[in-house]
């Protein structure tokens, strides 16, 4: 290929144009940096030095000097909301949402943030109004997620079901567990209002949504028991063993009551004694102890707890053992004062008063130690509670509590 002489003239021209472009970009960058207020850099410095209060004051000054900085306004609003200053967050986002020159995408962003501000402030109607304006567009899915949270707070379970169904389509995510729980909440409301047919219908829907739901058969048993059908109630409750036996302790007291109503307390005791040999024993211990004590007296309850201590020693079993012994000593003391011996007493004590005081002191000490020991724990956030919740009070997620409590010493 022949060398073209005009290339020698073109090369200096190309280098010259590149040099001029670089100079232009550098000057533009320096002019943009020079245009930033000093408060902006002060705010950044405060953030780096972990002084959020001073950083917010500096950024507020920047926003006052340059109202066009929408990104900074959004950042300030989010900071105010996280700090619990919901009134200031609402003012920031309302100002953005009402600006006539704001692009539609940023206006929707402002409405979405405003809905979260109202929700955090407890202004639920205004939150719903803001979020309802975003049912289409880029913020539709996010707005519906916040609306779902809002409906759960308001206990608007029918609206929550609709929102969850819409989110299933938008997010391609499975909301069947939540929908089944919403149906169970509606069934429980109907049961409290003495509308058993309506409750059964909601529970049927719950099982359609989530066949693995354990709450549905528990509530179906409650419906049957309320109608006086104790046999039907027992079928629902005892059937949980084949579905997920770990949830049996949640219905143990119901089962005992149903058997007692049918005059078959012996079957309840047999059922509990069999379960005490399984991993469910710690959860069923209290129910088994109370049932045994009521049916056969303190001596039998003491023997049951002694056997349980040999099989699965726990602080709770030890506590109930000394409770039974204290009750037995008290019975012996009362019988001795009346000049008679209890029918279930094996050995009389020479000094019933001293023994009663001793066992009662041990019992009280153990009760004090174990009173707040066993707790249900959320698998998601670790929130611990004495009662079992289908929805965690800490993170508001559904079915995150294991039905077994833990004896944590912390």
Is the CA virtual torsion 150, 199, 214, 248 positive or negative?
positive
381 is in an annotated binding site: yes
183 is in an annotated binding site: no
Structure tokens belonging to residue 395: 């993170």
In 38-123, where does DSSP find H-type helix?
38-48, 52-65, 70-82, 86-97, 104-121
184 is in an annotated binding site: no
CB 97 within 8 A of CB 77: no
Cα separation, 400 vs 383, whole angstroms: 10
* In the block, residue with structure tokens 């023997």: 303
Paired strand residues for 385 = 376
395 is in an annotated binding site: yes
CB 221 within 8 A of CB 237: yes
Q: Could you give the 3-state DSSP secondary structure of residue 238?
A: helix
* In the block, residue with structure tokens 């059937």: 239
Q: Would you give the distance in Å from CA 226 to the centre of its chain?
A: 29
Q: What are phi and psi of 385, to 5 degrees?
A: -145, 155
The count of other CB atoms within 10 Å of the CB of residue 153 is 14
CA distances from 372 to 102, 369, 385 (A): 56, 7, 9
CB 280 within 8 A of CB 311: no
Known binding-site residues equal 378, 381, 392, 395
Known binding-site residues for Fe cation equal 378, 381, 392, 395
């Amino acid at each position: 290929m022949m060398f073209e002489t005009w290339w020698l003239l073109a090369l200096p021209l190309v280098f010259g144009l590149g040099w001029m472009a670089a100079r232009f970009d550098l000057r533009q960058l320096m002019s943009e940096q020079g245009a930033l207020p000093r408060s902006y850099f002060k705010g950044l410095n405060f953030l780096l030095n972990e002084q959020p209060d001073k950083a917010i004051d500096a950024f507020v000054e920047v926003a006052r000097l340059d109202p066009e900085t929408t990104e900074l306004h959004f950042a300030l609003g989010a900071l105010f909301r996280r700090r619990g200053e919901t009134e200031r967050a609402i003012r920031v986002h309302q100002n953005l949402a009402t600006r006539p020159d704001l692009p539609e995408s940023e206006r929707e962003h402002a409405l979405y943030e405003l809905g979260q501000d109202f929700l955090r402030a407890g202004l639920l109607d205004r939150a719903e109004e803001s979020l309802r304006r975003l049912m289409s567009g880029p913020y539709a899915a996010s707005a519906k997620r916040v609306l779902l949270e809002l409906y759960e707070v308001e206990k608007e379970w029918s609206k929550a079901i609709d929102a969850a169904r819409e989110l299933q389509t938008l997010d391609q995510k499975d909301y069947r567990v939540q929908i089944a729980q919403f149906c169970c909440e509606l069934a429980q409301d109907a049961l409290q209002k003495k509308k058993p047919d309506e409750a059964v219908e909601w529970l049927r829907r719950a099982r359609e949504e989530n066949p693995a739901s354990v709450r549905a058969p528990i509530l179906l048993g409650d419906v049957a028991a309320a109608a006086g059908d104790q046999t039907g109630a027992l079928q629902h409750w005892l059937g949980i063993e084949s579905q997920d036996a770990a949830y049996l302790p949640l219905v143990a007291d119901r089962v005992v009551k149903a058997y007692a109503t049918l005059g078959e307390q012996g079957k309840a005791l047999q059922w509990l004694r069999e379960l005490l040999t399984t991993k469910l024993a710690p959860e069923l211990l209290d129910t088994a102890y109370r049932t045994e004590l009521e049916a056969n007296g303190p001596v039998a309850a003491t023997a049951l707890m002694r056997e349980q201590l040999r099989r699965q020693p726990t602080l709770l079993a030890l506590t109930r053992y000394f409770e039974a012994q204290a009750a037995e000593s008290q019975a012996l003391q009362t019988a001795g004062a009346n000049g008679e011996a209890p029918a279930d007493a094996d050995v009389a004590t020479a000094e019933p008063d001293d023994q009663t005081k001793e066992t009662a002191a041990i019992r009280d000490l153990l009760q004090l130690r174990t009173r707040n020991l066993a707790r249900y724990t959320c698998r998601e956030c670790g929130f611990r509670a004495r009662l079992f919740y289908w929805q965690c009070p800490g993170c508001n997620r559904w079915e995150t509590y294991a039905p077994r409590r833990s004896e944590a010493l912390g």
